[in-house]
Amino acid sequence: MTARLMENAPLAPYTWLRVGGQADRLILPSTEQDLAKALATTPETDPLTILGVGSNVIIRDGGIEGTVIRLGPGFGKVAVDGTKVTAGAACLDARVAKAAAQAGLSGLAFMAGIPGTIGGAMRMNAGAYGGETKDHFVSARAIDRKGREVHLTAEDFAFRYRHSEVPPDLVLIEATFEAPQGDAVEELAKIADIMERREATQPIREKTGGSTFKNPDPETSGGRSAWQSVDAVGGRGRVVGDAQMSELHANFMINRGAATAADLEALGESIRADVREQLGYELEWEIKRIGRHA
């Protein structure tokens, strides 16, 4: 099977916020061989963007220059071997949490609270409910621009809060985590609790991109979290065009139906400006904003 290639491909359907322009070229590889061939035959001077499940990204209205790669279902498998859990980069984080719990492994339940895939979780050291990706990370595999397989360790990632140092043009394809033995019933109960809490406190039924801003340094923010910072400047429920800061969770941005990427970005920047001017510190974006302005 060969990778699907689409020219001038609309990208909004591939993101949770349902906004964004076109990709000059969109490649949808089904296998590692497809991916390696696609990368090896794409000029290294061509800009390359890797798109996951689209849960934590705003693609701007002018689209993305060059080539966009989105991994297919073949990269979505997960397997447990002893205390090791190996998952493809396109595997949903929640699926990894459940597989580990069913195998009686402890510590990965927090992944059930991360709306995305393992590839994105690795790249941004995603975290939720007291856990971070780095906590159980062992190693990863990737494909470089020449189509060669690369093996990576935690040292290569240099994880820190919501960040890693992996080069943006390395396509992550698989990760291995290690978790100690625990009790399957207890771990599955933790996952159920996390899912119930998400349902009650986050607008997960809306078109949303998850957390909009990173939590600021508590020393500079007076202990305020990101959502408390948004609340403090009256940002909860704020609307720009058809973009809105959620009434349910002030750090979640939603598309009420016909928002543009420009609406979403303008809304976020208005919150950042108010926090800077009224509270005296910076709120950093957690959602990635990529592509060209219209």
pLDDT in tens, 90-119: 999 999 999 999 999 999 999 999 999 999
Q: What torsion, rounded to 10 degrees, do the Cα atoms 176, 202, 197, 174 define?
A: -10
Mean pLDDT value of segment 125-140: 97
Q: List, in order of start, the domains of the chain with CATH numbers.
A: 4-73 (3.30.43.10), 74-187 (3.30.465.10), 203-290 (3.90.78.10)
Active-site annotation holder among 132, 187, 265, 286: 286
Active-site annotation holder among 55, 106, 211, 221: 211
Is the pLDDT at 199 greater than 70, yes or no? yes
Active-site annotation holder among 25, 162, 238, 272: 162
Q: Is 286 a catalytic residue?
A: yes
Q: Is 211 a catalytic residue?
A: yes
Q: What is the end-to-end Cα distance of the chain in Å, rounded?
A: 35
- pLDDT tens, residue by residue, 161-172: 999 999 998 999
Mean pLDDT value of segment 217-230: 97
Is the pLDDT at 230 greater than 90, yes or no? yes
pLDDT bucket at 1, cuts 50 / 70 / 90: low
Angle between helices 93-102 and 184-201 (to 10 degrees): 150
Mean pLDDT value of segment 244-256: 98
pLDDT bucket at 152, cuts 50 / 70 / 90: very high
Handedness of CA 120, 255, 229, 190 (dihedral sign): negative
Q: Is 221 a catalytic residue?
A: no
pTM for the structure as a whole: 0.93
pLDDT of residue 254: 98
